[in-house]
Structure 1
Amino acid sequence: MESNEFFPPREGVTLAALAEYLGAELADESTGKRLIHAVAPVSRAREGELCYILSRKNRIELETCYASAILCDKALQSIIPAHIPVLLSSRPHTAFAMAGALLYPSAMRPLATVASQPDVSPAAFVDPSAHLEPGVIVEPMAVIGADVAIGTGTRIGAGAIIGAGVKIGRNCSIAAGASILCAYLGNEVIIHNGARIGQDGFGYAPGPRGMLKIVQIGRVIIQDHVEIGANTTVDRGTMDDTVIGEGTKIDNLVQIGHNVRIGRHCGIVSQVGIAGSTRIGDGVMIGGASGINGHITIGSGAQIAAMSGVVGDVPAGERYGGVPARPMKDFLRDIAEMTARANSRSKKTGDTQ
Structure 2
Amino acid sequence: MPPAVFFPRGAGLAVGEIAELTQAEIREGSDDACRIDGIASLSEANRTDIAMFDNVRYEADLDTTHAGCILLSRRYATRSVPQRVAAVLVAPDAGKAFAAIGRTLFPAALAPEAVAGTDTISVKAHIDETAHLEDGVVVEPFAVIGPNVAIGRGTIVGAGAQIAAGCRIGRDCRIGAGVSLSHSLLGNRVILHPGVKAGQDGFGYVVGPKGLEKTVQIGRVVIQDDVEIGANSTIDRGAVRDTIIGEGTKIDNQVQIGHNVVIGRSCVIVSQVGISGSATIEDGVMIGGQSGVNGHVTIGAGAQIAAVSSVNGDVPARARWGGVPAKPVRDWFREVTLLAELAKKRRSSGRNDE
- TM-score, normalised to structure 1, is 0.95
1:296-315 residue CA offsets vs partner (Å, 9 max, x unmatched): 00000000000000000000
The answer to whether the Cα contact below 8 Å between 1:62 and 1:80 also exists between their aligned partners in 2 is: no
Report the secondary structure of 2:21's partner residue.
helix
Trace 1:305-344 onto structure 2 (pairs within 5 A).
305-344=306-345
Q: Who is 2:24 aligned against?
A: 24
Quote how far apart the aligned CAs of 1:82 are.
Answer: 5.0
Q: Who is 2:37 aligned against?
A: 37
Is 1:122 aligned to 2:139, yes or no?
no
Q: Who is 2:293 aligned against?
A: 292
Report the secondary structure of 2:350's partner residue.
helix
- The 1:30–1:271 alpha-carbon spacing in structure 2 relative to 1, beyond 3 Å, is closer
Name which of structure 1's ranges 102-111 and 312-321 shifts more when overlaid on structure 2: 102-111
1:99 to 91, 98, 101: 101
The answer to whether the Cα contact below 8 Å between 1:255 and 1:271 also exists between their aligned partners in 2 is: yes
Separation of aligned partners in 2, 1:327 and 1:107: 38
Name which of structure 1's ranges 332-341 and 155-164 shifts more when overlaid on structure 2: 332-341
Name which of structure 1's ranges 87-96 and 128-137 shifts more when overlaid on structure 2: 87-96
Quote how far apart the aligned CAs of 1:4 are.
Answer: 4.8
Separation of aligned partners in 2, 1:159 and 1:145: 13
Separation of aligned partners in 2, 1:309 and 1:240: 25
Trace 1:75-154 onto structure 2 (pairs within 5 A).
75-81=75-81, 83=83, 84=85, 85-116=87-118, 119-154=120-155
Q: Who is 1:230 aligned against?
A: 231
The answer to whether the Cα contact below 8 Å between 2:65 and 2:82 also exists between their aligned partners in 1 is: no
The answer to whether the Cα contact below 8 Å between 1:56 and 1:76 also exists between their aligned partners in 2 is: no
The answer to whether the Cα contact below 8 Å between 1:176 and 1:193 also exists between their aligned partners in 2 is: yes
Quote how far apart the aligned CAs of 1:279 are.
Answer: 0.5
Query: Aligned Cα RMSD in Å?
Result: 1.6
Q: Which amino acid aligns with 1:96?
A: F
Separation of aligned partners in 2, 1:194 and 1:82: 45
Trace 1:163-202 onto structure 2 (pairs within 5 A).
163-202=164-203
Quote how far apart the aligned CAs of 1:183 are.
Answer: 0.7
Q: Which amino acid aligns with 2:78?
A: S
Q: Who is 1:277 aligned against?
A: 278
- TM-score, normalised to structure 2, is 0.95
Q: Which amino acid aligns with 1:51?
A: A
Q: Who is 2:62 aligned against?
A: 62
The answer to whether the Cα contact below 8 Å between 1:170 and 1:188 also exists between their aligned partners in 2 is: yes
- The 1:86–1:244 alpha-carbon spacing in structure 2 relative to 1, beyond 3 Å, is same
Structure 2 spans left out of the alignment, 5+ residues: none
The answer to whether the Cα contact below 8 Å between 2:142 and 2:161 also exists between their aligned partners in 1 is: yes
- The 1:226–1:29 alpha-carbon spacing in structure 2 relative to 1, beyond 3 Å, is farther
Name which of structure 1's ranges 38-47 and 126-135 shifts more when overlaid on structure 2: 38-47
Separation of aligned partners in 2, 1:69 and 1:92: 13
The answer to whether the Cα contact below 8 Å between 2:170 and 2:186 also exists between their aligned partners in 1 is: yes
Q: Who is 1:262 aligned against?
A: 263
Quote how far apart the aligned CAs of 1:193 are.
Answer: 0.3
Quote how far apart the aligned CAs of 1:321 are.
Answer: 0.3
| Runs of 4+ residues deviating >4 angstroms | none
Quote how far apart the aligned CAs of 1:74 are.
Answer: 2.2
Q: Who is 2:346 aligned against?
A: 345
Quote how far apart the aligned CAs of 1:191 are.
Answer: 0.1
1:49-92 residue CA offsets vs partner (Å, 9 max, x unmatched): 11112233332221221211122222202114153322221111
Report the secondary structure of 1:211's partner residue.
strand
1:163-188 residue CA offsets vs partner (Å, 9 max, x unmatched): 11111111100010001111110111
Separation of aligned partners in 2, 1:121 and 1:4: 26
The structure where helix makes up a greater share of residues is 1
Quote how far apart the aligned CAs of 1:209 are.
Answer: 0.3
Trace 1:208-227 onto structure 2 (pairs within 5 A).
208-227=209-228
Separation of aligned partners in 1, 2:44 and 2:347: 43
Report the secondary structure of 2:222's partner residue.
strand
Quote how far apart the aligned CAs of 1:347 are.
Answer: 2.8
1:21-65 residue CA offsets vs partner (Å, 9 max, x unmatched): 222222247512111111111222221111112233332221221
